[in-house]
Chains A and B, each alone.
Chain A
Amino acid sequence: MNTKLYAVIYVVLFVFATLQVAVEFAGLTYWTAFWLIMALSAIKAVLVAAYFQHLRYEPRAITYVVAIGVVAAIALTAAASYSITGT
């Protein structure tokens, strides 16, 4: 794998981080900004995992292992948060 690709990924990550703060000051509604910012975080996370941790080049099974962990964490967060709404 070449250094140039790593460098491009790095620059993209850098720009996206800056964008996140820019979004905050862009005057969007709170929840639009919220999902935009979280989406940027998710894209950055996927880039780091895919290239810096080179999951893209590993057997897919490893990605699934990590994905199970992510799904479990999101399920816990979402279900727990939902459970105390509307009471």
Chain B
Amino acid sequence: MSSIKRWFVTTNHKDVGILYLVTSLFFLIFGGLLALLIRVQLLQPGGTILADAAYNQTVSAHGLLMVFWFLSPLAFGFANYVVPLQIGAKDLAFPRLNALSYWLYLFSGLLLGISFFQGGTFSGGWTMYAPLNVPIYMPSIGATTTVLALLMFTASVTVGGVNFLTTIHRMRAPGLTLRRMPLFTWTILLTVWMMLFAFAALLAALMILSSDRIFGTVYFAATDSGGSVLWAHLFWFFGHPEVYIVFFPALGVMAEIFQTFTGRRIVGRKWFIASMVLVAIQSFMVWMHHMFLTSINLPVKTLFMATTIGISLPFDLMVFALIYTTIKGKIRFKTPFLFAFGALVLFILGGITGVFLGAVVLDYEFRGTYWVVAHFHYVMVGGVTGLVGGIYYWYPKITGKMYDEFLGKVHFALYFVGFNLVYFPMFLAWETPRRVFDYPEAFTPWHQLATVGAFVLGASFLVMFYNLYASLVTGEDAAPDPWRYVTTAEWAVPSPPPLENYPGRPSYDGGALQFLEEAGPRPSGIAAADGGAGTRTDGGVAATADGALAGGHDHEESHASIWPFGLSLAGFFLLVGLSGVNTGGTAYVALTVAGFALGAYTLVGMARESQTFHGPSGPFGESWPFAKVENMKLGMWFFLASDVVLFGAFIGSYVFIRVAFGWGAWEPVPHDPVPGLMNTYILLTSSFAVVMAMVAAQKGSRNGVVASLLVTILLGIGFLGNKGIEWLELFHEGLWLSTNVQTSTFFLTTGLHAAHVIVGLFIALYMLVRAWGGAYLDDDKPVEYFGLYWHFVDIVWLFLFPLFYIL
């Protein structure tokens, strides 16, 4: 396979990891240049080089790029590369979905780039507060494109999250229980758990905002609490967990590096993990501390101040565990350690300054100032510092070459000095108002110092890029374990690791990593390869996983598919089209149609390929607590759980707006519950038909499967037809999406449900064609999995019907 083509079709986790890493570094440069523009603008009060609107765009795009397109993807580059190696898996559970995550990510970033050329990108800050985010205040098409870009990124995260959850829970090597799992993998596991639920809320917020901008619904147009506070709730319900979503992987990198370069297992490992689990849970209970200056009531502010203090406690424990590890161990000051240690220092500063903001009374003063800017840069860029340590730490593993240690240390020195030069003066000049480029004269020296710091920080990355590039060409070859005292499995294989990762089947059953001979016909098995000695997990007693070794792989994993790329390209066309489709421009309409068509084509292609594409198959070693579910079904359930939150956020938005409006004064939009009741009957019956299809498949009855699926499809069409008639009647009465907030919630929420029905119908249609050809009789699982989705859509309707038709 030619080397260029390989990167477009690869589904291998190591390749995808490299793609993530390189792409995220590109977005670092993009976001970094915007940061330098901001700093140049702030050289003097009132600005220097940027026009007002241009400055707003620069600030907004810088924030969005750094948080979404740089930080998380850099972490997921490592996660892709390292997690399967650490847990002893040959790839992720769904390799093609992994490639899909990457391509969706890349194309979403391109969308953001395009938005600059469509009348200007989004200019309302990375938090996209309402009502500034609606078209009347921000009419440019580019702003819509930015929202859609973030929507596409969210899709990427959801697909990736489901994949990692399934992989880490189900596919660990024998003996690698959760208690013994490496800390980096632990942080990624908790990160994807948070992602699954947090990003679903963001998805809801972005879908509603897109609808406000494209279809003209009026959710966020209200300037009272109905609109602007709703956005803040949805955004920060996502946004606070997001802080830990970007920080946890960095924490994992820091923990690995601390262990390796102090030569000591982390102090209080069990409590360190428990603290992280606590933080992951608590992260969903603090979001309103971002809203102390909105119109929410005082009791709820007080409650969230308390929960905010509560979440700082587990972090204290983690920080002390890291500090104590350095005291108990013997430190080697290599570049990765310098960055990891620097990250700890910066995070402590960022954490302490955050405590001020968590107090309601202090926040009245600090909100909207550079105190906030300085605080979250210490936290977020503190995280970046840890991840940069990860770049140096895993560079030899990924490239097989050693980087230049001297240049690495130069990078750290410049980076650390530059970092504190740019962000620390912001604490001193904290009364500078955020988001604008005007400030009291007295602060000018601090801001000029910060600008100098920004350029030093930027220049430090030039040293890194030179080092990484030059070492790739002229660096010394790296040993499998260049660091010694490592504790995780990626160092037990050559640098870079071979395509199949391991010489045999990895197992921890003996208490340390060993490679067992492959069962089955493959001739390549090597028993107990070298490198096993140094790779204990935490040195516990060997667990036994009966039967896990008996089976074995009798097939080769597939590593190539073009469909993830194709599908993402289709999504890209579709969203560029949608961004301006309400202008009626021919190009936009054409792109929308083309995107839809290409999307349908690639989805069918991808589905057809499923019969020949082989991902990793079991039996796996440790799968707690999902040992008795297969990967596909578990992935489906993870996806549905995120869909629960998506619909939950839509229903929650409806409830919230209705409470703000006055619950009793609100009338349901349809005048008559009977059409809704009819549709309830129809959906319930269609659910029953899908169950019958599964029963027929189990009994081996082709006619039964075909008939049941046909009934399902006809009922689904009936549901949509009934709804269409109802909508048409309302339309003729003058009630449509943008009439008022009641009709907006009614049409959009039931419309999202209808969209789920339509997607289900396409899947059912595809399955009907295959069932006609006799599929599913020896394997009814696809029918079962489709049923899970279809019943879920049914359940959603069971709540939409009373909420929107009766009550």
Once bound together, how far apart are the Cα atoms of A81 and B792, in whole Å?
25
Q: A52-B690, A66-B641, A86-B297 are in contact. List 18 more A-B contacts (CB 8 A).
A: A6-B688, A17-B680, A17-B798, A20-B806, A21-B677, A34-B807, A37-B802, A41-B798, A66-B640, A69-B644, A80-B233, A80-B656, A81-B655, A83-B300, A84-B225, A84-B297, A84-B659, A84-B660
Closest to B687 in A: A52
- Given contacts A10-B684, A10-B688, A73-B645, is CB(A87)–CB(B787) below 8 Å? no
Which residues of A (31-45) have their CB < 8 Å from a CB of B? 33-34, 37-38, 40-41, 44-45
Q: Which of B134-142, B246-254, B338-346, B622-630 lies at the binding interface? A: B622-630
Give, as a whole number of angstroms, the nearest-CB distance from B166 to chain A: 11
Q: Is B288 an interface residue (CB 8 A)?
A: yes
Which residues of B lie under 8 Å from residue A66 when comparing CB positions? 637, 640-641, 644
Please measure, in the bound complex, the distance between the C-alpha atom of A48 and the C-alpha atom of B791, giving whole angstroms: 7
> With the chains together, A72 CA to B637 CA distance in Å?
16
- Distance in Å: Cβ of B616 to nearest Cβ of chain A: 21
CA distance A37 to B804 in the complex (A): 12
With contacts A48-B798, A49-B791 taken as known, whether A59 is within 8 angstroms of B659 at the C-beta atoms is: no
**Contact partners of A49 in chain B: CB under 8 A:** 791, 795
As a 0/1 sequence over residues 768 to 807 of chain B, the CB contacts with chain A under 8 angstroms (1 = contact) are 0000000000000000000110011011001101100011
Contacts of A69 in B (CB 8 A): 197, 200, 640-642, 644-645, 648
A79 CB to nearest chain B CB (Å): 7
Q: Mark B502-531, 1 if CB is under 8 A from A, else 0.
A: 000000000000000000000000000000
Contacts A3-B695, A59-B629 given; does A68 touch B791 at CB 8 Å: no
Contact status B651-A77, CB under 8 Å? yes
Instruction: Tell me, in angstroms, the Cα distance from A85 to B656 when the chains sit together.
Output: 10
Q: Chain B nearest CB: distance from A65 CB in Å?
A: 5
B649 in the interface, Cβ–Cβ < 8 Å? yes
Between-chain CB contacts (< 8 Å), 23 pairs: A3-B695, A6-B695, A10-B685, A13-B684, A17-B798, A52-B787, A52-B791, A58-B628, A59-B625, A66-B640, A68-B197, A68-B641, A73-B648, A75-B285, A76-B649, A77-B648, A80-B230, A80-B237, A81-B652, A83-B300, A84-B229, A84-B296, A84-B297
Measured in the bound complex, the distance between the Cα atoms of B684 and A49 in whole Å is 12
Kindly state the separation between the CA atoms of A62 and B634 in the bound complex, as whole angstroms: 8
Query: Which B residues are CB-close (under 8 A) to A45?
Result: 795, 798-799
Evaluate contact between B296 and A83: CB separation under 8 angstroms: yes
A: number of interface residues (CB 8 Å): 49
- Is there an interface contact between B648 and A76, defined as CB atoms closer than 8 Å? yes
List residues of chain B with CB within 8 A of the CB of A30. 664
- Per-position binary interface string of chain B over residues 433-471, scored 1 when its CB falls under 8 Å from any chain A CB and 0 otherwise: 000000000000000000000000000000000000000
Nearest 5 pairs of A and B residues by beta carbon:
A73-B648, A77-B652, A69-B644, A83-B296, A61-B625
Which residues of B are found within 8 Å of A74, using beta-carbon distances? 648
B638 near A: Cβ within 8 Å?
Answer: yes
Report if A77-B656 is in contact (Cβ < 8 Å); known contacts: A20-B802, A59-B626, A84-B295. Answer: yes
Asked if A28 is at the interface of the complex by the 8 Å CB criterion, the answer is no
B695–A73 touching, CB < 8 Å: no
Cβ-defined contact, A62 with B629, below 8 A? yes
Residues of A within 8 A of B (CB): 1, 3, 6-7, 10, 13-14, 17-18, 20-21, 24, 30, 33-34, 37-38, 40-41, 44-45, 48-49, 52-53, 58-59, 61-62, 65-66, 68-70, 72-77, 79-87
Contact call A24/B806, Cβ cutoff below 8 A: yes
> Which residues does B use to contact A, with CB under 8 Å?
197, 200-201, 225, 229-230, 233-234, 237, 284-285, 288, 291, 295-297, 299-300, 625-629, 634, 637-638, 640-642, 644-645, 647-649, 651-652, 655-656, 659-660, 664, 673-674, 677, 680-681, 684-685, 687-688, 690-692, 695, 787-788, 791-792, 794-795, 798-799, 801-802, 806-807
- Using known A-B contacts A14-B681, A20-B802, A69-B197, determine if residue A83 contacts B297 with beta carbons closer than 8 Å: yes
The residue of chain B having its C-beta at the shortest distance from the C-beta of A46 within the complex is B795
- How long is the Cα–Cα vector from A30 to B665 in the complex, in angstroms? 12
For B787, the chain A residues whose CB sits under 8 A away are: 52-53
User: Bound complex: CA of A84 vs CA of B795, how far in Å?
Assistant: 29
Chain B residues whose CB sits within 8 angstroms of the CB of A68 once the complex forms: 197, 641
The interface residues of chain A lying within 8 Å CB-to-CB of B801 are: 17, 20, 41
A24 vs B677: C-alpha distance when bound (angstroms): 12
Across the interface, do A48 and B197 meet the contact criterion of CB distance under 8 Å?
no
Residues of A within 8 A of B229 (CB): 80, 83-84
Task: Tell me the minimal C-beta distance from B421 to chain A in angstroms.
Answer: 40
Does A81 contact B692, Cβ atoms closer than 8 Å?
Answer: no
The answer to whether B288 touches A58, judged by C-beta atoms less than 8 angstroms apart, is: no
Q: Is the CB of B695 within 8 A of A87?
A: no
Contact between chains at B687 and A48 (CB < 8 Å) = yes
Q: Which residues of B contact A86 (CB under 8 A)?
A: 297, 299
Residue of B230, B297, B637, B692 touching A87 (CB-CB under 8 A): B297
- Closest-CB distance, B452 to chain A (whole angstroms): 43
CB pair B673 A77 closer than 8 Å: no
B644–A76 touching, CB < 8 Å: no
Within the complex, which residue of B297, B649, B677, B687 is in contact with A73, where a contact is CB–CB below 8 Å? B649
**Which residues of chain A come closer than 8 Å to B296, judged between CB atoms?**
83-84, 87
Query: Would A17 and B644 be within 8 Å (CB), given that A62-B626, A76-B652, A86-B297 are in contact?
Result: no
* Inter-chain contact B691/A37, CB cutoff 8 Å: no
**In the complex, what residues of B have CB within 8 A of residue A76's CB?**
201, 233-234, 237, 648-649, 652
Which A residues are in CB contact (< 8 Å) with B674?
21
Q: Say yes or no: A72 contacts B651, CB within 8 Å.
A: no
A17-B684, A70-B648 as given contacts; A65 in contact with B628, CB under 8 Å: no
Q: Is the CB of A72 within 8 A of B625?
A: no
- Expressed in whole angstroms, the Cα–Cα distance for A37 and B676 within the complex equals 14
Q: How far, in angstroms, from A52 to B688 measured CA to CA in the complex? A: 8
A76-B649, A84-B225 as given contacts; A65 in contact with B659, CB under 8 Å: no
